[in-house]
Every structure is written in C-alpha cells, then in structure tokens.
Structure 1
Amino acid sequence: MNHLRRKITVALLASVFTLQTAVLASAADLTSVRYHSGGEHDRVVFDLSSEPSYQIKASADGREITIDMANVSEKDFKRKPFHSSRIESVKYVLSKGHMLVTLRLKPGLTYKANKLSNPARVFVDILPKTAKASAKPSGTVRRTGSEAEGDILPLAFDGLYTEMAAPGLAKRSYIYWDDAGKVSAYFVEADKDLYTVKPVLARGHVPGLQSTSGISDAQNAVAAVNATYFAGNGDMIGTVKIDGLMAGTTYYTRSAIGFLPDGSSIFGTVAYDGQVTLGDVTQSISGVDAERGVDNLILYNKWYGSRTRTNEFGLEFTVQNGRVTKIQTGNSVIPSNGYVVSVHGKAMDAFAGVRVGDRAVIEQDLGAKWNKAVDIMGAGPRLVQNGRVNVTVAAEQFPSDIRYGRAPRSAVAVLKNGNYLFGVVDGRQADSHGLTLTEWAQLLVKFGARDAINLDGGGSSDLVVGGQVQNSPSDGQERRVGSALILQKK
C-alpha cells in the first residue's frame, strides 16, 4: 500500500513539474520596443520571442492605453522612454508574469492594434480619431474602394509598412536594424500611368531657396523630394533643364534623370557644352544661370528671374530674335523670350567690338538623347543600373563628404514595373545612422529599382507626401534647398 502511494506521489510530482516546464517554455520574452513617428500616425512595435496573449485597456477619458501582455518576461529587454507630438509618455510595469505598457496620448487621438506571429510582434498605431487608416501587418498594402486603383509593386518584408495615400500612390516606411544600428527609410511609389515627375526650382527661379514642403505646397504637388546640389545662394550645381530651357550646369560629367516629350524617362551621364557667337566672335559658355566669375561668360535666361544682379565690372549683351538688342555694364533685365550674355575679363575683351544689331547665335549641346529631353535633373552619382547596384561615385569625381561614410541620402528611381520612386533615408541621429552610397543602392534594389540616381543628401534629405514631411531631417528641421522633384497627377 505504501509502495502504491509512493508511485502515485512521484507521478503527481512529475506531472506538476512537466506542467511548470511547459508554462515556462511557452513564456514570451520581450526583446525590444521600437518607436516611429510618421506623418499620419505613430507606431509602437513590441518584438517578442514568441506570440503573446494580449489585451488593450483604455482609460475613461481615452488619454491612456495599457497594453497587457500575459506570460511575458523581460530578461533581454532594456526599458526605454520615448515621447512625440502624439505620445506624452510611456510607462512599463512587470507584474505576476504580465508586462503592462501604458502610453499616455495627446488629446484627440485613438489607437489601432494588431500582431504578427512570424516574426512575433505586437504593434500599436496612434492616430487622430478622424483618421481612416487602420493598422495592418508589416509589408501589406492597404487598399479599399477607389484606393485599389493603380498598379503598385507588391512588397512584403519585415519592417515594411505600406499605406495607399491616393489611387496609385503608395507611402512606405521601412525600419530595420543592421550591424551599425537602426535605419529609418521612407519612400513614395507612383503609378506611371497616373502621375508624372517634374523638376522645379525653389520660388520658381535661380537663385532661390525654399523648404521642400514649401516647394510642394507652391506647386500643389502630390509628393516632393529634394533634388540637386546647390550653392549657398541657391545656384544649381548640377545639370538642370525645365520645359526645354537650361536652368543650371556643372563642370563635371554626372548622372541625371531626363524626361522625353512622350513622358518616358532616361538615365545616364550628361555633360553641358555651349558657345555664343556675337558678330564674328565665338566663345564658350562657362555656365547657365549662375553667379558670374572672373573671365566668365554666363548665359542668363528667364529661370534666373527678372535681372542678372551682376556688378558693373563686366559687360552684358541682351539677345532677342537672333540679334543683340542692348549692351550695358551690369544688372540687365532678362527678357522672357531671350537671353543675356554676361562677360567679364578676357571674355569681355573678346567681345569688345560687338554692337547693337549684330547677329547672335547661341548653341547648347548635351548629347543626342539629352538634347531631346524636355526636363532634366542632374545630381549623382548613379546608384542602380538595369536592376543592379552600380555606384559611379569615383568616375563622377564626387568629393569625400559625399563619397564616404553613412549619411542621410535621397534618390529618385524608376522601378522594374515602370513606376516612379522617391526615397530618403535618415541619418546622423539616434533613430537612424544613415547609409553609405552602396548600402543605399542595395536598399533601392530591394524596393524594386531598375534605375536610380543619388540626389543631394545630408541635411537636405527631405520627402514630402500630401504636404507632410515623412522623414526626420538631420538638421532638426527642413533645410531650404534650391530645387525639388515633384509628383503631379496626369
């Protein structure tokens, strides 16, 4: 009898031990909490070792929500506070196997929650009560009603969140970690059949400076990204052509994107070559719509504004209808249907015999395919060619501050389905360390790029969709830039 009791006791103890082991084995470990503040919502992501059981409770006034995750440990988790324009504070409490995370929200906000099983995570979006957006698992494209219109490249991978901002217009945010830390990147993809890309100048002329969101608002654009490099006064440092008229040049042969009259795009390197003949004398053009330097010949057109704003130490020839119509020393009026040829030093001496009424011939050459382009935005270097990484930074003679290291980056691409892609990656901040040019090119290929060029980066990197800045510019606020690429409805 005692022997039988001992066997039963051992069996019961074994059963209890097995049950405890199973419970312990099923406990989920909270490994990290990630946070991102976007243009339309904040997202808080809880990464776990296995899928947890959870519920969310809201306070009576709706200002606090508590995410209660049952049977959760935090042995590898470091509690990190955060706050934003939508979240006032976060508080963590571990009690009897329950991880309680309480978010205090700003007034007028609500939440949407969801979870994934592979990888295991719970995520909560904080958004205005009037917003129609709903949380979906990372990598899905949310389409309802008319938003299903348009052809968008299907992408689904860990850390990607896609939202249809309009028919044929997809906003994407991609948050991930590499060996160096956290990376935050933002994109907008536009259906080629519904949207066009257009280069624009800050305040509509050179030189000019304006935030990317300001340029977007002025143009009533669907989206905008900062474009080419620029001088402190706003002069373009890149080959720029708008509506068939040059608006900027550079001394280097560098990559550009161009748009032909039929709307198709071209990528490649482009170099500017120009010359002016006044009377019987021909001279090379030093630059277009730029500040005049020593011994320079600068060509000014309507993109420079109403006047040349030059000093009196040169000579300027107003050209209309193939003739010199006026000669003066500086600050000439720029005709809307003509040019001003501004010369200094040796260039001025060469044209010393030119008189009003003399013939004027202006020749500009970008190469056969680029001459046909209506619009061109040059920047560089090339990042992607025919769907493969091809970073041409050395061939395009870029300086070390662009060539090396991780930094905020911007890019424009055409995808393998023909759609347009604007993208930025944040850098120089805790939420994103930035990328090298090669890493940036690799990321663009991951997003389906067929061809892509790099745009101005650093503090200039800025992506705007629907008038809202999507990323976090490294200056802490938007930098004023000289140009942008915008998306417009056809």
Structure 2
Amino acid sequence: MRFTGRRRSFWMLSIAATTLVIGGGALYSRFRAHESREIKEISPGISLLSVSTTTPNGPLRYWLVKADKAGWELGLEVADARDVIEKRSVRDLAAQSGATVAINGGFFAYGGAAVGAVKVGGEWHRLPWKNRTALGWSETNARIGPLAGSCQLTLTLADGEKQIKNAALNGFALSGTHTPLVDGFCILTPRFGAKYKRKLGDVIAEFSNGQRILRAPNELPDEIEVPADGFLVLARGQAVETLSQTQNASWKAIAHPASFDKSPQILGAGPRLIENSLVKTTEVEEEFRPDVVARGPRTAMGWDEDRNWLLLVADGRQVASAGLTIPETAQLFRELGAVEALNLDGGSSTQLVINGELVNLPSGYDPVNPMRQREVSVTNALVLKPRGFRGTPR
C-alpha cells in the first residue's frame, strides 16, 4: 500500500480526533444499554471478550483477546520465510505456526512485500518504513515506538574497504521510498526468495559466507540462485564499477533508535494509539493517508498494566458493524485496559482466527462464492502460542 497524502488533510483529521476524544468523553458509555458482552476462556491463561454494541456512528462488533504473558508467547509468522512477496490467509498462517490465536499483521504492497519492518528470530526480512511505529519484542521485553532503519553494506576492494551506508534490502527501493533503485546497491538474502531473475542493467555478485563466488559475467544465468549461506549484491548505475572490484562483502541492518536492535522480533505498522496509558495517535506525524485513518475494520495490539497481551479486532463497512476510526480505536482500546498500543493493517485484511476458526466477518466477499466469507491473503500475522510450544518447523 502507498501511504502519501496531504498535510492539510492530516491536520484536519488531527483536530477532529482531538475534539472527539476531549469533547466526547467515553465514546460508548451512553449506548451500552444496547450492548451484549460475552467473555469466555479460550484456554487457561487466555480469554476472548466478544461485544456487540451501538455507537454514535452505528452498530459495532469487536473482539478482545487477553493472554497472560507468563503462559502465552507472541510470535510473528510470515507467509513464507523464503519468499518475501508470498501471501496467505490468517487462518493458513495460524495453521502453519500451530497458533491458538492469530491476527493479521503489518501493511503490505499490492505485489505482496511487507511495507515496514519485519524481523523474525533476529533476522531482518524487511527494513523499517520511514519513521513509523513498530513493535519490538523478546521473551522478556516489548516496546512500541517510532522506528527508522538502514542497511549498511561493507565491501572489501583491492585497495581497502568501502562502506555503503544506505543499501536496499530484499527489495528494489531504499528504505522509506517507493522510488526504484537506479544508482546504488541492493542486497538479496534467502528471505527474498530462492532465485532472482536479472533485469536489463543489473550487475550481480554472489557471496557465500562473505566470500565472493567468482564467475565470468557470461557464466551467470538469467535466474540466479540466492546462496543459502550468503546473499546476492545487485548494483545499478555508478555502483557497477565498485562491485566489479569487490572481493568480499558483509551487511548489517541498523535500527534507529538502537534499542530496537535488542528485539529479535520486530513488526512495523502504525500509527501509535496509546502511550503510557494516554491516548496518543500519530497518524499526522507518520503521514498516513486519510482513508487509512477513516472508519473501517480495525486490527490493533498492545498490553495492559499487568503486561498481558491484548489483541483487538473490530468489523467494519457492514450493516452489522460500521467500524472505527483511528482515534476511536485508540479510545476504545484505552477503555479496555491497554496502556501501550499500536494500530496494525486493517480494512479487508482484518482477521481474527481462534483454534483454526475465523471469528470475525472480513469486509467484502469472495467474488467466486458470494456466500463464503472473504479471507484476504496477507504477508504476516501475529500469533499466540502456549509458551514453550514450537510447532512444526517450516
């Protein structure tokens, strides 16, 4: 998805959001006479709150999963760890990971690649998008905050080392831009895919354990395998001459702030919803399009003061559920006990799966079978599994 927009629209939305939160008070308190609520235990240490209510903007259905962090582990499941553009439904990702609960994760481009940071098991798949809000976590800690990043490439030449401070990683645009790379370097790891098909003007070098695999240019096939123990370096423009002189290479992703480097799992999304128990939405600073902020289906995550994981899903764009704006999502999530929270991808991507069953009703319908609920394929999902559970290796 592309997230550019007009500053004027952003500020108008921000003013409207402030008016709603300050002037409206508790968003749903006057309408709860028409509300039905049900809490049930999914499994020991994890519960589901299901609510059907009426709001000033129409009916609303939402669900809150609450999981004891001591017994439940939060994971990040990607559709395919060997193909950066692969997408699957949340139900499939839940089954793939063996998760009890799964929700859709971060944003993605129409081609399938994640838009925003993706780091799994300490390995970077995708770099942060601009300075948008991200979630970083380990077994003992979690943080939500703005995250920028870059990929630094170090090349060993005959006359010494050369550092490239900003290379593309597993994609063909520099971090935070949609502009195709025409002059510079790109690193393709096994997370990008098994092979890369060369395009006109590409010059490529293969590296295994940092050492260059020497081949004559005419020996390189049109489809080049990404070394399982290494990576490809692609050069375009003036970078071609430098790559031709390169003997060895290494790369590393650098997070800003550096505190995120300590997180083995990172998912970029945004905007922020809650900080230090206060509603604080950052759609203006993060330059989200007005349609992303507007009313629709919502997925969000955070935690409460006891550090329990909280996953919030709301249906939208339906007769039975109008959906939520970003400010309304933040207000509702705070009322439900969240002290830190961020927004995830929403709209037709919004899906909640529990024990293999789709709980919510995604917006839109399957064009082939209108009676079947539409399950959009997504790039990644946040999953909850009993702590210590490892499932079937992919």
Q: 1:326 to 1:232 in 2, by over 3 A?
A: farther
Q: Give the Cα separation in 2 of the matches to 1:120 and 1:440.
A: 20
User: Do residues 424 (structure 1) and 313 (structure 2) align?
Assistant: yes
Aligned to 1:255: 133
Local SS of the residue matching 1:188: strand
Aligned: 1:282 with 2:159: no
**2:208 is aligned with 1:320:** yes
Of 96, 100, 113, the residue aligned with 1:218 is: 96
Between the two proteins, the alignment pairs up a number of residues equal to 331
* Letter matched to residue 371 of structure 1: D
Letter matched to residue 287 of structure 1: A
Residue 111 of structure 1 is matched in structure 2 by: none
Selected match of 2:148 from 248, 271, 279: 271
Contact kept, 8 Å, 1:258 with 1:377, in 2: the verdict is yes
Aligned to 2:334: 445
Separation of aligned partners in 1, 2:84 and 2:197:
11
Query: Quick one: which amino acid aligns to residue 259 of structure 2?
Result: K
SS of 2:330 mapped into structure 1: helix
For 2:96 and 2:213, how far apart are their aligned partners in 1?
Answer: 34
Match of 1:487 among 384, 387, 391: 384
The higher-RCO structure (CA 8 Å, 6+ apart) is: 2
Contact kept? 1:188, 1:465, Cα under 8 Å: no
Output one character per residue of 1:196-231: Cα deviation in whole Å (capped at 9) or x when no partner: 111111133311011110111111111111111111
Q: Is the 8 A contact 1:209 1:233 kept in 2?
A: no
Task: Kindly indicate whether the alpha-carbon contact (under 8 Å) linking 1:285 and 1:299 is maintained by their aligned counterparts in 2.
Answer: no
1:457–1:368 CA distance, 2 compared to 1 (3 A): same
**Closer, same or farther in 2 for the Cα pair 1:309/1:176, shift >3 Å?**
farther
Q: Which amino acid aligns with 1:188?
A: V
Distance in 1 separating the partners of 2:41 and 2:55: 27
What corresponds to 2:25 in structure 1?
none
Q: Going by fraction, where is strand more abundant, 1 or 2?
A: 1
Distance 1:333 1:175, change over 3 A: same
TM-score (norm 2): 0.79
- Quick one: distance in 1 between partners of 2:129 and 2:276? 27
Q: CA deviation at 1:334?
A: 1.8
**What amino acid maps onto 1:425 in structure 2?**
A
| Residue ranges of structure 1 left out of the alignment (5+ in a row) | 1-118, 122-157
State the partner residue of 2:72.
Answer: 195
Counterparts of 1:460 and 1:309, CA distance in 2: 30
Q: 1:229 aligns with which of 71, 89, 107?
A: 107
Seen in structure 2, the aligned counterparts of structure 1 residues 164 and 470 have a Cα distance that, compared at 3 Å, is same
What is the Cα deviation at residue 180 of structure 1?
A: 1.2
Partner Cα separation in structure 1 for residue 65 and residue 275 of structure 2: 20
Contact 1:216/1:223 (<8 A) preserved: yes
Q: Does 1:208 align with 2:86?
A: yes
1:246 matched residue in structure 2: 124
- Residue of structure 2 aligned with 1:294, choices 150, 175, 181: 181
CA contact (8 A) 2:117 2:129 kept: no
- 2:226 partner SS: coil
Structure 1 match to 2:230: 338
| 3-state SS in 1 of match to 2:296 | coil
For the aligned residue pairs, the C-alpha RMSD in angstroms reads: 2.0
Does residue 383 of the first structure (1) align with residue 273 of the second (2)?
yes
| Distance in 2, Cα, partners of 1:305 & 1:346 | 26
Q: Which residue of 1 aligns with 2:347?
A: 458
Contact 1:422 1:463 in 2 (8 A): no
Query: What's 1:365 paired with?
Result: 254
Which residue of structure 2 aligns with residue 169 of structure 1?
Answer: 46
Q: 1:310 to 1:449 in 2, by over 3 A?
A: farther
**Structure 1 residues 311 and 360: CA distance shift in structure 2, 3 A:** same
Question: Would the alpha carbon gap of residues 395 and 330 (structure 1) be closer, same or farther in structure 2, given more than 3 Å must change?
Answer: farther
Distance (Å, rounded) in 1 between the aligned partners of 2:275 and 2:93? 29
1:482 and 1:429 mapped to 2: Cα distance? 24
* 1:352 Cα deviation after fit: 3.4
Equivalence map 1:305-316=2 (5 Å)? 305-316=193-204
State how far apart, in whole Å, the 2-side matches of 1:352 and 1:241 are.
30
CA contact (8 A) 2:172 2:181 kept: no
Match of 2:10 in 1: none
Per the alignment, residue 143 of structure 1 pairs with: none
In structure 1, what is the Cα distance between the partners aligned to 2:91 and 2:231? 31
TM-score by length of 1: 0.64
1:488 offset after TM fit, Å?
1.3
- Give yes or no for the alignment of 1:397 onto 2:281: no
Q: Contact 2:205–2:243 (CA<8 Å) still a contact in 1?
A: no
- Maintained 8 Å contact 2:128/2:268: no
